[in-house]
Structure 1
Amino acid sequence: MVGPAVPVAASYEVMEALTSVQVTVPTEGASAFDLTFELSNRSPLHTLFLLAGGAGIPILRVVLVATLNGTPNVLIDGVMTNHEVSPGNQGKATMSIKGDDLSVVMDHIDLSGIPYPAMPIFTRVAAILAKYAPLGVIPKVIPNLNPVPPNPLDRIPRQQGTDLQYIQMLAKQVGYTFYMEPGPKPGTSFGYWGPLIKTGPAQPALTTNMDAHTNVESLSFRFNSNKKMLPIVLIQEPFTKLPIPIPIGDVGPLNPPLGAIPPIPHKIKLLKQTAKMSFAEAAEAGLGEASRSSDVVSASGSLDVLRYGRILQPRKLVGVRGAGHAFDGLYYVETVTHKIKRGEYKQDFTLSRNGLVSTVGKVPA
């Protein structure tokens, strides 16, 4: 689907010219797409994409939907940001269309100074995301642990930077993350602002070294114990003004241990900026920092979607089997890259978890 502001089904000419699609979906940050077209030198698509690329604000919206087993899956809902044309032989040219998800639209205008009186952090985020409802953005905002609004007689929070910069700054302040989650219907997206949730039902297992049951093309693992870090927040005692150091662990209800043997932290990081926060605010920042440094086991590989039987979803759990006692078990899907050509649909992926040896006896087949 493609179109200015409101996308519509692509024409026959566009679909026939499309030769490959690549969509990268990370856990944090913007998703990106790359479309490759093979065009004749007189194709009207040259004019269409050149006009859209010359607009001051990216208005050419692109929605990519993959249908597998009769179920549509929205891969990305974004806007075009760049195009490249490479002249070829025999009157053919190759055009590459690149773009990011709808979060790039939130990063165009600096709105520093907008006041948010008596509004807690999560309410400010919801108010900002509500402005993008015409683009089909639905706020999915999880209240933070300390949703106490600031007293307007003491201070009035004001926006700093663009909408995207301010939302990301607020997310980092409380140990949260922000990303756009496309779907479930084409033309809609969830603007998720909340903690990384590493729990829930797992996707069918990625299987290696099991003969006919193997459903991945490659899968390799890495253990990096030096990544483990222990964050220490500093709380200022209100009467004596003395800093009180408090270590923060990396295990919580939304971040359960996926590995039974986590390594001992090799580093200690003092979060000095927490001295001016309340205990709840400092704990939020510490939990976010601990979560980002806890995943010492990582895996990367590729699979054929038709053999796997479904599309591997990012930001969810997936099982792994056949890799040995140390690396079997549940993992969190960090990044997925979709690679689609005519008659071919493959995915590259990266996984992570906090330690060796599985915490579950069996993973979904």
Structure 2
Amino acid sequence: MATFTLLVDGQVLDHELLAQLQTVEAEEHLQMADMLRLVFNIAVKEDGSGWRVLDDAVFSPLTHLQLQITVGNNDPVTVIDAYVVETQTAFTNNPGESTLTVTAMDAGVLMSRREVVRTWAGMSDSDIAGTIFNDYGLSSEVETTDVTYEEDNTLIVQRGTDMQFLQLLAQRHGFDVYIDVDPASGSLTGHFGPVRLDGEPQGLLTIHMGQSSNLNFLNVRWDMLRPTAVQVDNIDFDSGENQTGSAGSSDLTLLGGEDLFKSTTPRMSRVLPSGAAIDAELLSIAQGLCNRSSLAVVAEGEVDTRNFGAVLRAKRTVTVRGAGELYSGIYLVERVLHAFIEGEYTQSFTLRRNALAPRRQDDFTPEEE
């Protein structure tokens, strides 16, 4: 059995409001902001003084929300820490059909409220990312970048919000930028770096294995037309000469026994970047694009939570078995949609990987066995 706890500004949601909550949806995503959506049933109060829930003014702009999910006897897992960014009210003449939908976005919204013009001199992209996270009181997990921009040579100018700027810097390295929430403590960490593929898989997703199965379905797609090599071209500001950076393979951890890039006909992508000033930047851009292109196997499915017995998290790895020699193995969890609808908990997901077949060291044994 799965249950949830919704915290509003640090306090558990009032019991009367909880009784009106019809739908809870929390989406974790590697490439986009994590989002929370709540749908409440609303009705005119018995004394006619206003609308229940709507006129209680609980969900004002940037109200702080946290969603914790508990499966079975496991500890609660905080899946999202978010701030209210929108409400939508649907009024009808039919009793019981009017609703209030509350939408909240992860802490990245706090970094997206103010556009600024700011110069950054004598700092690398990773230094800049660490500074911005610190400005918001966030601890950070930042991958060091090699290039430092000297003021007499290159001046980095920020024009936009802090989150927009971080995303721009991340694109230059093929990095991801997001705010991660610790499942146990609920503390927040700013992430600026490549996808995390080296961690211990968080569980075992099983399809077509009788009573051992814990997936309702699994659909796998292999995009065979993705580029396997990238060349980035530019013109040197000072000399006017051509600059080139290229990458012919991914340097990410291989998630399976057979590299996807070696399983398909080579295909080259050529890119004309904007804002790249030196060769090292071009190489970084090319490698980042090549890395992202390598995650060409995509799996989508739905967890049978009763049999899985846990909360699946995005931005981490998971093991899949029962999908044949080709598609069984370790995957990166790109997206998870957690939904409570009429008390029923579902987990829909999107996975990615850069390889085929399992590795020799992959463990397909469930913990209880």
Give the alignment's TM-score, normalised by structure 2: 0.85
What is the number of residues matched between the two proteins?
Answer: 351
Deviation at 1:211, TM superposition (A): 0.8
d(CA) in 2 for partners of 1:276, 1:131: 26
- The structural deviation recorded for 1:245 is 4.6
Match of 2:196 in 1: 197
Change (3 A) 1:237 1:257: farther
1:37 aligned residue:
40
Match of 1:260 among 245, 258, 261: 258
After superposing the two structures, state which structure 1 stretch, 286-295 or 90-99, moved more.
Answer: 90-99
**3-state SS of paired residue (1:273):** coil
CA offset at residue 358 of structure 1? Answer: 2.2
* Equivalent of 2:81 in 77, 80, 85: 77
For residues 16-48 of structure 1, the C-alpha deviation after alignment (integer angstroms, 9 at most, x for no partner) is 221221111111120111111123322542124
Aligned to 1:55: none
For the structure 1 residues 259 and 115, does the alpha-carbon distance in structure 2 shift closer, same or farther, using more than 3 Å as the test? Answer: same
Partner of 1:120: 124
Any conservation in 1 of the 2:28–2:314 contact (CA below 8 Å)?
yes
CA 154–329 in structure 1, closer or farther in 2 if over 3 Å, else same = closer
Q: C-alpha distance in 2, partners of 1:51/1:18?
A: 13
Q: Percent identity?
A: 24
1:12 aligns with 2:15: yes
Asked if the contact 1:297–1:353 (Cα under 8 Å) also holds between the matched residues in 2, the reply is: yes
SS, match of residue 340 in structure 2? strand
Moved more, 262-271 or 164-173: 262-271
User: Counterpart in 1 of 2:48?
Assistant: none
Structure 1, 305-314 or 178-187: larger mean CA deviation: 178-187
Compute the TM-score of the two structures, normalised by the length of structure 1: 0.86
- CA deviations on 1:115-134 (whole Å, 9 max, x unpaired) are 2232222121122222222x
Superposition pairs for residues 319-338 of structure 1, below 5 Å?
A: 319-338=319-338
1:241-320 equivalent positions in 2, closer than 5 A: 243=242, 245=244, 247-252=246-251, 254-262=252-260, 263-273=263-273, 277-320=277-320
CA contact (8 A) 1:23 1:338 kept: yes
Tell me, yes or no, if the aligned pair for 2:254 and 2:355 is still in contact at 8 Å: no
Query: Residue 117 of structure 1 contacts residue 156 of structure 1 at CA under 8 Å; is this kept in 2?
Result: yes
Change beyond 3 A, Cα 1:333–1:78: same
Q: Which residue of 2 aligns with 1:232?
A: 231
CA shift, 1:97, in A, is 1.0
Distance 1:227 1:12, change over 3 A: same
Q: How far off its partner does 1:192 sit? A: 0.8
| CA gap 1:358/1:186 in 2 versus in 1, 3 angstroms | closer
**Residue 255 and residue 362 in structure 1: after superposition, are their counterparts in 2 closer, same or farther (change >3 A)?**
closer
Post-superposition CA distance 1:204-244 (Å, at most 9, x none): 22111111111100111112201243112348799986546
The reply on whether 1:95 has 2:103 as its aligned counterpart is: no
- Aligned twin of 1:143: 144
Distance 1:283 1:37, change over 3 A: same
CA distance in 2, matches of 1:98, 1:73: 20
Q: Give the letter for the 2:124 counterpart.
A: P
The amino acid across from 1:232 in the alignment is Q
Give 1:63 shift.
1.0
User: Distance in 2 between the 1:167 and 1:297 partners?
Assistant: 27
Alpha-carbon distance between aligned partners in 1 of 2:33 and 2:121, rounded to the nearest angstrom:
29
Q: Is the 8 A contact 1:295 1:354 kept in 2?
A: yes
2:182, 2:18 → 1: CA distance? Answer: 21
Q: Is the 8 A contact 2:141 2:190 kept in 1?
A: yes
User: 2:80·2:181 contact (CA, 8 Å) conserved in 1?
Assistant: yes
Q: Which of 27, 30, 34 is residue 27 of structure 1 equivalent to?
A: 30
Give the Cα separation in 1 of the matches to 2:238 and 2:68. Answer: 59
Name whichever of 273-282 and 224-233 sits farther off.
273-282
| Root-mean-square deviation (Å) | 2.7
Whole-angstrom CA distance in 2 between matches of 1:172 and 1:74: 28
Render the CA deviation track for 1:313-341: whole Å, top value 9, x for unaligned: 11222111112121111111111111113
| Distance apart, 1:62 and its partner CA | 1.2
Instruction: Extract unaligned runs of 5+ from structure 2.
Output: 1-5, 46-50
Provide the C-alpha distance between the structure 2 equivalents of 1:342 and 1:186, rounded to a whole number of angstroms: 28
User: Structure 1 unaligned runs (5+)?
Assistant: 53-57
Q: Is 1:106 equivalent to 2:107 in the alignment?
A: no
Residue 220 of structure 2 aligns with an amino acid whose one-letter code is F
